[in-house]
Chain A
Amino acid sequence: MYTIDWVRIFTRPSATSRRRISRVVWCLGITSFFTDVSSEMVSSILPIYLVSYLHLSPVAFGAIDGLYQGFAAIARLAGGFLADRWRNHKAVAAFGYALSALCRVGLLAGHAWSLVAATIAIDRTGKGIRTAPRDALISLSTDRRDLASAFGLHRSLDAAGAMLGPLVAFVLLSLTHGSFDAIFVVSFCAAVIGVGVIVLFVDGSSKALDASGRASFGATFGLLRIPVFRNLCVAGSALSLATISDSFIFLTLQRNVDFGVQYFPLLYVGVAACNSMFSVPIGHLADRHGRWRTFLAGHVMLLLVYGVMTGAHGNLALLVVLLLSGLYYAATDGVLAASASAELPQHLTGSGLALIATLTNTGRLLGSILFGAVWQWLGLKPAVTLFATGLIASLALAGMLRPSRVK
């Protein structure tokens, strides 16, 4: 386990070239931590704010959620591509973080439905824009042998923020007699601190990268000609299609273990806590014993989740699912980014990471829609069986495609 080395973070990097996680990764992790505290504070109270306070119909809210997903996907591709093109990952990532911070002011500005919808859309866009350039910065400032450790550290801090956000919101609500404005103000301040860290402490001199090529659309899609990267994309997409989303997993558990949907936020907090705890050690394991193996092992955890959620009952099953889900995230999200970025030419790191993230996110979205439909038509058991079969098949495919260069 790492302890936060504050002195090292806020001082210029020393000349020692011992292999350890760079200051850039630490700073990006801290930025993500504050940003996630900020955004999860708001998302945890958003449903009640919209429905109980503004009296907006949840149906209208659900209808445009799909649209936002589309926005985020386009923003992600654009963010990764432009960061490569301008050779300035830091500026694009910081812009994405700043955009989301500004949204908190939007929520304070008024009660109009259109304003609330616009701030949510801009927030998602900001999140989309910053993801790929930030991951590219992590990758470009890390020795290739330590990529999974670096991503593990970043994801651990990120998940810690996601875990704390709802708790901070709760404390604030009880301190201020339920003032939503107080939450938005504090959330804004947390986001500003996050932006401050990336702007002030992250060295963004990506211009010193190898000047071997220039980012273009052709070059971005040409990345799929790199055999190992293509295999990662294919295997990652197949696995993501067979992934049952958290909300469906929790919904299934809700039927077996009797609890209300109002407890869902607490389950997300539990998964984030496990994810945060396991990301760092699993990242180390991945670097030492093989990232691809770790990535596949993560999906075996997911397969176990499918088994437990349909077969078992009671609170113990609930805890086991939270634990396994946390392990699944810790062994897949950062590890895939690490495996992919190890294969990418430096000048296309942002574009490539955006591409694979968009593929896997789209896969998960399609998987969710498919799962919901099969559940409606055929019932829960057939739906889970179908997805478990799909996951086993995807694992087999991924095993065959095992990229030789990725340890």
Chain B
Amino acid sequence: MKRMFKDTSPRIVFVGLCAVCVALAGGYVVLKRGAAPAAGLDLPVATEIGVVAERPALLFSSAAFDRTNGFLGLVPLHAERPNRYRTELRCDRVHFANGVGLCLAASRGVITTFTAQVFGQDFRVRHSLPLKGVPSRARVSPDGRYGAVTVFVSGDSYSAGNFSTRTTLIDMSTGKAIADLEEFAVTRQGQSFKAIDFNFWGVTFGHDSNQFFATLGTGAVTYLIQGDVADRSARTLREGVECPSLSPDGRRIVFKKRVGTSSWRLHVLDMDALADTPLAETRSVDDQVEWLDDRSIAYGLPATESGGGGSDIWTMTLERDAPRMLISHAYSPVRLDR
């Protein structure tokens, strides 16, 4: 290097290098700060969930790599030329039922903090609850009474390659936590069942809100559990079920079944026979699916065009027809039917 700059002193080269670097860094920051890129901001803004009159409609979190990233979007499902709307509520994960929404949001700072926010039809936050980890799953019971939040509790996750989760139930009318699933009394085949490494994730509520299903992980085993909110208890139903999602008619559960160290295949479970069948989607799905009706589901998949970063929402029916993309650059689908 020195020989290359035989006639130039290293000091002058260094001053030049610093000038270029400072100009590049400073220029880029000024560019990002001043002329805020308008990409994505030309979408109409929805300030009310009723702005989209058609039903069913889909609520989602935008995964576009533009200024809408992370903000909720709204789109009618069956319109001929669907208009996509954006909102001014930012959520990593969202769910909505009976006029009440649950939004898991990150606020980026020196310390990134996470909150669960209860919002209404107008996308205004009514209650806010701090979370102790990275948001993973959100569910609201069909009547809007309870919410369930799963977060990854990082910190002890990387030394042994496993992870730890925490699932909290929320009273949606007050925004207060009412229970942590770790406090529930669990039984397996009638016997009390307890271990220090219990992890709960992926709650789905039954029609009366009091009944719910979820995943209990301990050691290398994942159980499907059926729980009772009022009774603060749960029992195991069978093994090998993660992130269950109960169909609107309550007859089936679609879940992800582990088929490799970090790959899952969607399966459907018949609630009477407790027997499962693989679905037509052959790609690995790491999501808690959303039912669009009693025969079809929607779920997020890594975006194909950007090579696995970002997300698109896909849909398929239980009839083993090929999955198709429902909305590109979107994440965390929620069906709205009222």
Contacts and interface: CB of A to CB of B under 8 A. Distances in A.
Contacts of A247: 155-156, 158-159
A201 B14 contact: yes
A196 interface: yes
Given A55-B302, A60-B262, A181-B32, A189 B24 contact: yes
B34 to A, nearest CB: 10
A192 B17 CA distance: 8
Assign chain A's interface to a size class. 35 or more
A172 interface: yes
Contact of B157 (A62, A116, A371): A62
Interface in B27-44: 28-29, 32-33, 36
Interface in B114-134: 114, 130-134
A340 to B, nearest CB: 26
Contacts of B158: 62, 65-66, 247
Counting chain B CB atoms within 10 Å of each CB, the highest count among A62, A177, A201 belongs to A62
Given A63-B161, A260-B133, A263-B111, A113 B156 contact: no
A173 B108 contact: yes
A47 B92 CA distance: 13
B36 A113 contact: no
Given A111-B307, A112-B306, A179-B32, A55 B63 contact: yes
A10 interface: yes
B154 interface: yes
B154 A196 contact: no
A65 B21 contact: no
A283 interface: no
Contacts of A186: 25, 28-29
B290 interface: no
B159 A369 contact: yes
A339 B197 CA distance: 42
Interface string A48-87: 1001111111111011011000000000000000000000
B109 interface: yes
Nearest to B15: A10
Nearest to B5: A200
A376 B197 contact: yes
A265 B110 contact: yes
A396 interface: no
Contacts, number: 185
Contacts of A389: none
Interface stretch (B184-192, B231-239, B308-316): B308-316
B134 A182 contact: no
B29 A196 contact: no
B284 to A, nearest CB: 10
Contacts of A201: 10, 14
A245 B160 CA distance: 13
Given A111-B310, A113-B309, A373-B160, A52 B155 contact: no
B29 A176 contact: yes
Interface in A357-386: 365, 368-369, 371-373, 375-376, 379
A193 B21 contact: yes
A58 B155 contact: no
B157 A58 contact: yes
A59 B11 contact: no
B309 A266 contact: no
B32 A182 contact: yes
Given A55-B302, A111-B309, A181-B32, A372 B17 contact: no
A185 interface: yes
A102 interface: no
Of listed A52, A110, A247, A263, residue having the most chain B CB within 10 A = A52
Interface stretch (A248-256, A312-320, A342-350): A248-256
B14 A10 contact: yes
A115 interface: yes
A48 B108 CA distance: 8
Given A47-B154, A177-B32, A10 B308 contact: no
Nearest to A167: B110
Contacts of A373: 160
B69 A53 contact: yes
B157 to A, nearest CB: 5
A47 B113 CA distance: 12
Contact of B310 (A54, A57, A260): A54
A112 B154 contact: no
B17 A52 contact: no
A372 B158 CA distance: 10
B65 interface: yes
Interface string B76-109: 0000000000000000100000000000001011
B309 A116 contact: yes
A397 interface: no
Interface string A34-58: 0000000000110110011111111
Interface string A107-127: 000111111100000000000
A3 interface: no
A194 B310 CA distance: 32
Nearest to A187: B25
Contact of A58 (B14, B29, B152): B152
A166 interface: yes
A174 B302 CA distance: 28
Interface string B157-169: 1111111000000
B309 A58 contact: no
A209 interface: no
27 contacts: A47-B154, A52-B92, A55-B309, A58-B134, A58-B157, A58-B163, A59-B163, A65-B161, A111-B308, A114-B308, A115-B307, A177-B32, A177-B36, A178-B108, A182-B29, A185-B24, A185-B25, A185-B28, A186-B28, A189-B25, A248-B156, A260-B130, A262-B133, A264-B154, A371-B159, A372-B160, A373-B160
Given A58-B134, A170-B110, 11 more contacts: A45-B108, A51-B134, A55-B302, A110-B306, A181-B28, A185-B25, A193-B17, A193-B18, A196-B18, A197-B14, A260-B130
Interface of B: 1-2, 10-11, 13-14, 17-18, 21-22, 24-25, 28-29, 32-33, 36, 63, 65, 67, 69-70, 92, 106, 108-114, 130-134, 152-163, 196-197, 261-262, 286, 300, 302-303, 306-311, 331
